[in-house]
Amino acid sequence: MKKLIPQLVLGIESSCDETGIALYHQQDGLLAHALYTQAAMHSEYGGVVPELASRDHVRRALPLIRQTLDQADRQLADLDAIAYTRGPGLAGALLVGTSVACALGYALDIPVLGIHHLEGHLLSPLLADPAPALPFVALLVSGGHTQLMRVDGVGQYTLLGETLDDAAGEAFDKSAKLLGLGYPGGPELAKLAEHGDAARFKLPRPMLHSGDLDFSFSGLKTAVLTLTKQHEMTDSTRADIAAAAQAAIVDVLVGKAQAALKQTGLKQLVIAGGVGANRLLRSQLDAAAVRKGVRVFYPALEFCTDNGAMIAFAGAMRLRQQAPQDGYAFAIKPRWDLQQIG
Ligand code: KG4
Ligand code: ZN
């Protein structure tokens, strides 16, 4: 094994439908990153097809690693460690990134480190300049997760609240599907909503005043379904429903995020996960932040959705604290609670 604290870390993300590769250097920061998204391939099926996702990761991983190394003008032999997404995610997709990481690590005789995908999202705001200081509240809003976490340091995450059923991204995606939009539905629904009147239909704001920091979005999908059945689906009605659905999801996210800040007494809010790309969410969070005297941090758009940079970075942060002890076993964790990592 090489030096004590590995300096140059290769990151590999393959938990779902994006192959993300990045190189992070402990001193010089993010050197290069590359992403291939399979969205177009899955859109034909209206959602991610796990087997196709795995096969595509197989096709993309090595060329993207080559491309990333070339961009940074580095060689495989320069790598000091490899961080890969161990979970949660699709088992077959995770296995591709894990096997590439373990095989390369074994061949190069360098450590490999399995990273929790959500830890990647949680720490990705620290890649930005300016970065938030610890501790902060993180609102994690992705296709599979909706959680409010208190982040005190690397590996120090306290769950404040989470969704009891659908994730916010799922609520976007399912509403989009009901409106006949493509996959992934979130950005498509947001685009359609720009032409809509959010005031025409009033959708429920589930659990907004529940007094805790949990969420529930499954009822929203049913409410959207009811609207699509009650009305003739003209272009303008579709846009109005999209705007109403977006407004409802965003209102709940903003309300709960503010409540989390109040409960913890913290003044910094970090948004992570794909839904963090939503413009309405951003503008409403910013407006609320000005009113309440708090600061909101967003990772760059490219780091909001799945990417390799967050995995390389989380790996680099962990390697500063601990030597990896995983060996080269393909130990994926398709289901993995963030609370279980230390
Ligand atoms: O974090 P992410 O890339 O993948 C994981 O789920 O881990 O998040 C993807 C989710 C999808 O549900 C997608 O529809 C949603 O983020 N999303 C958006 C927007 N961009 C991506 N939702 C609303 N508005 C957007 N602009
Ligand atoms: Zn993600």
Question: Ligand 1, residues 142, 183, 280: which to mutate, most atoms within 8 A of Cβ?
Answer: 142
pLDDT at 339: 78
The values of phi and psi at residue 166, to 5°, are: -75, 150
Q: Is the pLDDT of residue 2 over 70?
A: no
| Among the ranges given (34-43, 203-212, 291-300, 332-341), the one the predictor scored with the smallest mean pLDDT | 332-341
Q: What digits encode the pLDDT tens for the residues 217-238?
A: 999 999 999 999 999 999 999 9
Q: Which atom of ligand 1 is nearest to the CA of 246?
A: 23
- Residue 115 pLDDT exceeds 80: yes
Please say if the pLDDT value at position 11 is more than 70: yes
Residue 202 has pLDDT above 60, yes or no: yes
* Tokens of residue 145, six digits: 């997760």
8 A C-beta contact, residue 168 and residue 253: yes
Cβ proximity of 120 and 286 under 8 Å: no
The number of angstroms, rounded, from the C-alpha of 268 to the middle of its chain's C-alpha atoms is 19
Query: Chain centroid to CA 150: how far?
Result: 16
Q: Evaluate: CB of 144 within 6 angstroms of ligand 1.
A: yes
Reported confidence tier of residue 4, pLDDT bands at 50, 70, 90: confident
CA dihedral defined by 255, 257, 262, 263, rounded to 10 degrees?
A: 110
Question: What is the pLDDT, as a whole number, of residue 325?
Answer: 77
Q: 8-46 burial, b if ≥16 CB within 10 A, otherwise e?
A: bbbbbbbbbbbbbbbbbbbeeebbbbbbbbbeeebbeee
Closest residue by Cα to atom 6, ligand 1, is: 143
* Statement: residue 24 has pLDDT above 90: yes
Which of 275, 280, 282, 285, when mutated, tests ligand 1's pocket best, judged by the most ligand atoms within 8 Å of its CB?
275
DSSP state of 335: S
Look at the domain 8-121+305-340 and name its fold.
Nucleotidyltransferase; domain 5 (3.30.420)
How many Å separate Cα 16 from the centre of its chain?
Answer: 11
What is the arithmetic mean of pLDDT over 292-297? Answer: 95
Q: Residue 217 and residue 212: Cα distance in Å, rounded? A: 15
Kindly give the distance from the C-alpha atom of residue 143 to the centroid of ligand 2, in angstroms, as a whole number.
Answer: 7
Residues whose CB falls within 8 Å of the CB of residue 301, separated by 6 or more in sequence, listed in order: 277
Q: What's the confidence (pLDDT) of residue 342? A: 66
**Which amino acid is located at 302 in the chain?**
E
Measure the CA–CA gap between 211 and 230, rounded to whole angstroms: 32
pLDDT at 148: 97
Report, as an integer, the average pLDDT of 192-218: 96
For 129-298, CATH number out of 3.40.1390.30, 3.30.450.20, 3.10.20.30, 3.30.420.40 equals 3.30.420.40
What is the rounded average pLDDT of the residues 69-73? 98
The helix (H) or strand (E) run that includes residue 94 is helix 91-108
Ligand 1 pocket residue status of 167, Cβ below 6 Å: no
**Does residue 324's CB lie within 6 angstroms of at least one atom of ligand 1?**
no
Q: Quote the CA–CA distance of 6 and 302 in Å, as a whole number.
A: 26
Which residues neighbour ligand 2 (ion) by CB within 5 Å?
Answer: 142, 306
**Would you state the pLDDT for residue 185?**
93
Give the C-alpha separation, 296 to 258, whole Å.
11
CB of residue 172 inside a 6 A radius of ligand 1: yes
Mean pLDDT, the chain, rounded, equals: 94
- Is ligand 1 within 6 A of the CB of residue 276? no
Looking at the chain, the whole-number percentage of residues with pLDDT higher than 90 is: 84
pLDDT score at 195: 96
User: Who's near 338: CB < 8 A, 6+ residues apart?
Assistant: 116, 118, 119, 122, 147, 149, 157, 159
Q: Which ligand is nearest to the CA of 117?
A: 2
pLDDT of residue 299: 79
> Which residue is associated with the tokens 């399995």?
114
Q: Which pLDDT tens digit goes with each residue over 125-179?
A: 899 888 999 999 999 998 888 999 999 999 999 999 999 999 999 999 999 999 9
Mean pLDDT value across residues 55-67: 98
Q: Which atom of ligand 1 is nearest to the CA of 168?
A: 12
Q: Is the pTM of this model over 0.85?
A: yes
What's the rounded mean pLDDT across residues 99-115? Answer: 97
Confidence grade of residue 305 (pLDDT, cut at 50, 70, 90): confident
CATH topology identical between 8-121+305-340 and 129-298: yes
- Domain positions in the chain: 8-121+305-340, 129-298
3-state secondary structure of 146: strand
Point out the ligand 1 atom lying closest to the alpha carbon of residue 184: 14
* Residue 90 reports pLDDT greater than 90: yes
Question: Looking at residues 296-319, what average pLDDT do you find?
Answer: 92
Residue 3 predicted with pLDDT over 70: no
Supply the pLDDT for residue 143: 86
Whether the pLDDT of residue 327 is over 90: the answer is no
pLDDT of residue 120: 94
| Mean pLDDT value across residues 120-129 | 90
